[in-house]
Amino acid sequence: MLSNLQPQSPDKILALMAEFRADPRAEKIDLGVGVYKDETGLTPVMRAVRKAEERILREETTKTYTALPGEPAYREAMARLILGDDLPVDRLATVASVGGTGALRVGIDLARMANPALRVWVSDPTWPNHVSILNYLGVETLTYRYFDAETRGVNFDGMIEDLRGAKPGDLVLLHGCCHNPTGANLNIAQWDEVAALLAETGATPLIDLAYQGFGDGLDADAAGTRLIASRLPEVLIAASCSKNFGIYRERTGILLAICPDSATRDLAQGAMAHLNRQTFSFPPDHGARIVTTILTDPELRRDWETELEEVRTGMLDLREQLVRELRERSGSDRFGFLAAHRGMFSRLGATPEQVETLKRDYGIYLVGDSRLNIAGLNKNTVPVLAQAIIDVGI
Ligand code: PLP
Ligand code: TYF
């Protein structure tokens, strides 16, 4: 039976990660996979995470099953982190998930249960796993214009024009902040316009929030999501704790569903727990417990916020330095967009051949679409990258 299987195309980002590891060159620079790295190239365990784990180890009395939708304390703490303290409690359904990806998957499944003819709008470009999950599920996928290759900013007019084609029963997948792979984001006035347009079309937003705290700060990065949540009757939010808590392998995420009324909330809550049960039964708890411990303890929370802020501003400093080094070498401001982008990623706008040359001749690894991970740089490698960018003629 299994011999009937068809080969699957590999995840290009993960394949690049393996290629980098196998590269013997000492001077190689990994700007591929979206994992935060400090100036020594390590992805550290955050201080508050370690302390929370020590506390859990000391105080945990059982590892018996939790609840199907995950621990209520986790779901409440995360809902507050994302939406702020003014929660629409009567309209809010929540389930803990297997990472942000699991939340996306359950969110799409939920929408498909409600509408078997579901269509999903994704930005052009978007995170490749969005498209691969939708294709796997056989869900019709439409794209809306997003990245302006000329300005390396958002093609907002194109986005709005395309999203006018959305209709009730469609999902519109939006990146809450730190767009992956481009780094180009909506400003709050643009979020406002998107909210108005979604209200007009009757489509339901699905917000992917995987980098809260990596762009402009914890609250600023949630501002678009909160605006949408306050304006629309129905909103899905798939959030990840992988990056902002640095707990990638613990697989910690959450799906929030804001519903038009409390009766719908009860239906959605039941359906979301049902989907967990059909897929993996109880969600993983260790990462969720770490997050709950940190968010509900003032001292741990302060320490986490401080460290996250160091991570965020460190990436901004690298962006500024890169723009400076490129300005000196190019004699122009044409790379200024790198300082306007937010989060770990920027799309450089290089050709596939230039990306290949950077890898082959310089040992600098970017994703094929010329996405680079700013966190893969440090003060010493920024000038190396800047020189290579000029040398290959980007
Ligand atoms: N969405 C985007 C845009 C991402 O970049 C990621 C990243 O890793 C995720 C969702 C989900 O992350 P995870 O499943 O590791 O929590
Ligand atoms: O875009 C990235 O690099 C991150 C990490 O299948 C990632 O989101 C990449 C590929 C993948 C899962 C996570």
CATH class label, 65-296: alpha beta
Q: Where are the domains of the chain?
A: 10-44+300-391, 65-296
Give the CA dihedral 14, 47, 345, 236, nearest 10 degrees: 90
Each residue of 260-291: pLDDT tens digit? 999 999 999 999 999 999 999 999 999 999 99
Burial of 110 (0-12, 13-18, 19+ CB in 10 A): buried
Each residue of 56-76: pLDDT tens digit? 999 999 999 999 999 999 999
* Ligand 2 centroid – CA 181 distance (Å): 10
User: So what's the pLDDT on residue 107?
Assistant: 98
Domain 10-44+300-391 has CATH 3.20.20.140: no
Q: Is the CB of 33 under 6 A from ligand 2?
A: yes
- The bound ligand whose nearest atom lies closest to the alpha carbon of 12 is 2
User: So what's the pLDDT on residue 296?
Assistant: 98
User: So what's the pLDDT on residue 228?
Assistant: 98
* Ligand 1 centroid – CA 82 distance (Å): 16
The model's confidence at residue 198, banded by pLDDT at 50, 70 and 90, is very high
Whole-angstrom distance, CA of residue 378 vs CA of residue 374: 9
Query: Whose Cα sits closest to atom 1 in ligand 2?
Result: 34
The mean pLDDT value for 153-164 works out to 98
Each residue of 159-191: pLDDT tens digit? 999 999 999 999 999 999 999 999 999 999 999
The DSSP secondary structure of 232-243, one letter per residue, reads: -S-EEEEEE-TT
Q: Is the CB of 99 under 6 A from ligand 1?
A: yes
Instruction: Please report, in angstroms and rounded to a whole number, the separation of the first and last CA atoms in the chain.
Output: 49
Active site (annotated) includes residue 304: no
User: So what's the pLDDT on residue 118?
Assistant: 98
The catalytically annotated residue of 127, 285, 386, 388 is 127
User: So what's the pLDDT on residue 280?
Assistant: 94
User: So what's the pLDDT on residue 209?
Assistant: 98
Question: In ligand 2, which atom is closest to the CA atom of 11?
Answer: 6
Is the interface score ipTM higher than 0.95?
A: yes
Whole-angstrom distance, CA of residue 327 vs CA of residue 118: 47
> Is beta strand 235-240 parallel, antiparallel or unpaired with respect to 252-258?
antiparallel
Q: Is the CB of 99 under 6 A from ligand 2?
A: no
Strands (E), 52-145: 92-98, 119-124, 140-145
Query: Whose Cα sits closest to atom 8 in ligand 2?
Result: 34
* Ligand 1 centroid – CA 106 distance (Å): 14
The mean pLDDT value for 212-239 works out to 98
- Angle, vertex CA 249, rays to CA 73 and CA 345, nearest 5: 100
Question: In ligand 1, which atom is closest to the CA atom of 101?
Answer: 14
Q: Is the CB of 214 under 6 A from ligand 1?
A: no
Q: Is the CB of 250 under 6 A from ligand 1?
A: no
User: So what's the pLDDT on residue 314?
Assistant: 97
Each residue of 10-58: pLDDT tens digit? 899 999 999 999 999 999 999 999 999 999 999 999 999 999 999 999 9
Each residue of 337-350: pLDDT tens digit? 999 999 999 999 99
In this chain, the answer to whether the domains covering 10-44+300-391 and 65-296 adopt an identical fold is no
* Ligand 1 centroid – CA 211 distance (Å): 8
Query: Whose Cα sits closest to atom 4 in ligand 1?
Result: 210
Mean pLDDT score of the chain, rounded to an integer? 97
The mean pLDDT value for 133-145 works out to 98
Mutate to test the pocket of ligand 1, among 11, 126, 207, 240 (most ligand atoms within 8 A of CB): 240
Assessment of whether the complete model's pTM goes beyond 0.90 = yes
User: So what's the pLDDT on residue 34?
Assistant: 94
Active site (annotated) includes residue 208: yes
Query: Whose Cα sits closest to atom 3 in ligand 2?
Result: 34
- Percentage of the chain surpassing pLDDT 90? 99
User: So what's the pLDDT on residue 106?
Assistant: 98
Active site (annotated) includes residue 85: no
Active site (annotated) includes residue 303: no
